[in-house]
């Protein structure tokens, strides 16, 4: 039997089909596997959107409802789905902020200045400035920053101009220090940054659902319904 749709335009058919496709849902809301801190909530949202999209498609074949009532019901499903999306979007944004803040705090605690190491750190900065002047010296710095915690920590918590390193190189080496010596903080920072990019995309899905799941003009006619009372 040929599938029928409440909104039979090519754009609407493509959109509601995407709302049932796991590939498209991952593109819209993120892959649960990529975001361990939000994986279950994102997977649950995928199921909610796909289930309600299927219900909207099924409504088109429901002969017990008039055309207007079918569109009223589809709008209700769209509204519920939009609310679920916005709820998860807020959770994603909040988790992104927390992970970035927490990851930064853990990195700072681990690689930040240590009491009693002031002289030691000053000597290391002198060594960095001296060796940063030559390619051979830069090679030594690069190798030690990968294996020596003290060198990596001093690079991390010192201003770039105190180390002799360019600002861009210093930024890259600070990040590399976190990745090598504080991997959990690095993972938290990365997930937080990716979640922060993800959250704004959710509203696009809400717009698509309200544009393609029902006809607003027909759904609005539901407001003219007269209740007969007792």
Report pTM. 0.85
Confidence of residue 150 (pLDDT cuts 50, 70, 90): very high
Do 92 and 126 lie in one domain? The reply is no
Structure tokens at 154: 């001093």
Do 95 and 202 lie in one domain? The reply is yes
- What pLDDT, on the 0 to 100 scale, is given for residue 224? 75
Residue 3 inside a domain? The answer is no
DSSP symbol at 30: -
Of the candidates 163, 185, 188, the one whose C-alpha atom is nearest the C-alpha of residue 111 is: 185
Q: Are 53 and 3 in contact (CB under 8 A)?
A: no
Q: How much is the mean pLDDT over the chain?
A: 94
pLDDT digits (tens, 9 = 90+) for 85-111: 999 999 999 999 999 999 999 999 999
Q: State how many domains the chain has.
A: 2
- What pLDDT, on the 0 to 100 scale, is given for residue 45? 98
Residue 121 inside a domain? The answer is yes
Do 181 and 125 lie in one domain? The reply is yes
- What pLDDT, on the 0 to 100 scale, is given for residue 222? 79
Residue-range definition of the domain harbouring residue 122: 110-186
Do 56 and 136 lie in one domain? The reply is no
Residue 24, pLDDT > 80, answer yes
pLDDT digits (tens, 9 = 90+) for 128-149: 999 999 999 999 999 999 999 9
Do 154 and 90 lie in one domain? The reply is no
- What pLDDT, on the 0 to 100 scale, is given for residue 3? 75
Do 202 and 134 lie in one domain? The reply is no
Residue 139 inside a domain? The answer is yes
With a CB cutoff of 8 Å and minimum separation 6, the contacts of 45 are 29, 84, 85, 88
- The helix/strand count (H/E) of the chain reads as 12, 0
Q: Under the phi-then-psi rule, with left for phi > 0, alpha for psi from -120 to 50, and beta for the rest, what region is 115?
A: beta
- What pLDDT, on the 0 to 100 scale, is given for residue 118? 95
Over residues 205-222, the mean pLDDT reads: 93
């Amino acid at each position: 039997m040929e599938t029928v749709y409440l909104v039979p335009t090519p754009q609407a058919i493509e959109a509601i089909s995407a709302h049932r496709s796991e590939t498209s849902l991952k593109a819209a809301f993120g892959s649960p596997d990529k975001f361990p801190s939000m994986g279950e909530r994102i997977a649950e949202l995928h199921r909610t959107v796909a289930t309600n999209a299927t219900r909207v498609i099924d409504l088109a074949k429901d002969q017990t409802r008039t055309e207007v009532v079918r569109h009223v019901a589809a709008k209700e499903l769209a509204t519920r789905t939009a609310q679920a999306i916005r709820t998860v979007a807020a959770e994603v944004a909040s988790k992104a902020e927390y992970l970035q803040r927490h990851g930064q705090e853990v990195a700072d605690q681990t690689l930040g200045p240590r009491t009693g190491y002031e002289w030691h750190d000053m000597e290391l900065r002198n060594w960095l400035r001296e060796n940063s002047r030559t390619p051979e010296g830069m090679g030594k710095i690069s190798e030690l920053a990968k294996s020596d915690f003290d060198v990596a920590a001093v690079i991390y918590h010192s201003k770039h101009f105190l180390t002799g390193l360019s600002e861009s190189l210093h930024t890259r080496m600070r990040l590399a220090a976190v990745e090598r010596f504080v991997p959990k903080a690095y993972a938290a920072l990365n997930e937080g940054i990716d979640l922060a990019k993800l959250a704004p995309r959710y509203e696009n899905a809400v717009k698509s659902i309200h544009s393609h799941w029902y006809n607003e003009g027909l759904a609005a006619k539901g407001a003219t319904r007269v209740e007969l009372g007792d």
